[in-house]
Amino acid sequence: MVVFAGILLLVNALYNLVVWPRFWTRVSRDERARDAEGRATAFLRVHAILIGIALLLAVVSGVAGVIVLL
């Protein structure tokens, strides 16, 4: 069961590290990301924070997965 948990944590980390950066490219190109003067909008800032948290959790999951499997 511990091996399964470790593998699941690593799969979770890999999935998040693949998906979220691609989502960031879509969000940053969205017309709602910048106002008429080119400044970042709340839409972009909120998504940047959410993606940052998701990537941080991915790193933590990856480290935890490695530790569990060792």
pLDDT (tens digit per residue) in 23-49: 999 999 999 999 999 999 999 999 999
pLDDT at 9: 97
Burial per residue of 22-43, b for 16 or more beta-carbon CB atoms within 10 angstroms, e otherwise: eebeebeeeeebeeeeeeeeee
Instruction: Please give the DSSP secondary-structure letter assigned to residue 32.
Output: G
pLDDT at 56: 98
